[in-house]
Amino acid sequence: MNRWNYVLIRVGQAIPTFFIIMFLVFMLVRLLPGDPASAILGDRATEEAVARLNAQMGLDKPLLVQFGIFVRNFFQGQMGDSISYKIPVSTLIMQRLPVTAFLTLYSATVAVVIAVPLAFVAALRRGSLIDNAIRGVFQIGLSLPVFYVGLLLLTVLGARLNLFPIGGYGKTTAEHFYHLFLPALTLGFGVSAVLMRNLRASIVEVLTAEYVDFARAKGLRNSIVLTKHVLRNALIPTITLLGLNVGYLFGGAVITESVFAIPGMGRLMVDSIFGRDYAVVQALTLSFAVLVFVVFIITDLVYAELDPRVEMM
């Protein structure tokens, strides 16, 4: 099957799921305690003022009517205005999207850089003290929550040793890499633990395959055997696993950006939830869903590129 046809089919399959996500997001946001009118007017607002403002925003209509208006406005490109920032939601998201996208890509890169060499070392020294030490350290990484790892790195490397800034995003590209290193390490450490365990197991399995023995019997250098035959085939399930963990990176960004005071979509999500900013919360959740779906398609395409035997279905 042509890859573009595959992409179109996947998009078509995602449309019903997207509508379900839209409905769930719409309903869950309205289950939050409080309402936007009360958040705007403050604690001293009268019931009459709250009711009048809710009517102006259309929040007094039945939920199904509100949902229909929400869907219509979404497909017209009108996601409303933020009640907290007083600007269109689409403008607000486009301002924050590059920050979160950069942090997610940075975190995934850090995870791969950590996981791949250590998985190789652990697999080639299977059962040794080094292997057990590597797996033990990463087991700790799997056990620790994201916010705790972030606070630990922030306290030790940021506040005490003063090696990295404790917050912010920077202005230049170099400053972005510098300021986001601790947040990227916070997110990437947990993912690297999952990738390392999976890649180590794949490498151990591939090392016993017949085609690896055949490559060595032909007299190929060990470095060529390990890179072209072992690593290429062992990476296939790991690439898929990395794509599946992108959702974890986006979810972790919500907490990490708050801990490190990063002006991204994750911190905006937290602030909007506390501010009862319905339009922003809805638009952010849908944006995260679209980004995860795009990453899943890219993962499938990379999988097929690494293993030509896999057909797009």
Q: pLDDT tens track of the chain, all 313 residues? A: 566 777 777 778 788 888 888 888 888 877 777 667 766 776 666 778 878 877 877 777 888 888 888 888 888 877 778 887 888 888 899 999 999 999 999 999 999 999 989 998 898 888 889 989 998 888 877 788 887 888 888 888 888 888 888 888 888 889 999 999 999 999 888 889 889 988 998 888 888 888 787 888 887 887 788 887 787 788 888 888 888 888 788 888 888 888 888 989 988 988 888 877 888 888 888 888 888 888 888 877 777 676 665 555 5
Beta partners for 88?
81
Orientation of helix 265-274 relative to helix 89-124, angle to 10°: 130
Does the global pTM surpass 0.85? Answer: no
pLDDT at 182: 92
pLDDT at 308: 60
- Percent of the chain that is helix, strand, coil (3-state, to 5): 75, 0, 20
pLDDT at 102: 92
- The domain 90-306 having CATH identifier 1.10.3720.10: the answer here is yes
pLDDT at 60: 78
Residue type for position 253: A
User: 151: exposed, middle or buried (C-beta count within 10 Å: 0-12, 13-18, 19+)?
Assistant: middle
For tokens 């035997």, the residue is 309
pLDDT at 113: 92
Residue 17 has, within 13 A of its CA and on its CB side, a CA count of 9
pLDDT at 230: 83
In the chain, what is the straight-line distance between the N-terminal and C-terminal CA atoms, in Å?
7
User: 18: exposed, middle or buried (C-beta count within 10 Å: 0-12, 13-18, 19+)?
Assistant: middle
Cα–Cα distance, 261 to 274 (Å, whole number): 16
Residue 153 has, within 13 A of its CA and on its CB side, a CA count of 26
Q: Domain boundaries in the chain?
A: 3-75, 90-306
pLDDT at 292: 85
Cα–Cα distance, 283 to 22 (Å, whole number): 9
Contact 237, 197 (CB under 8 A): no
pLDDT at 178: 92
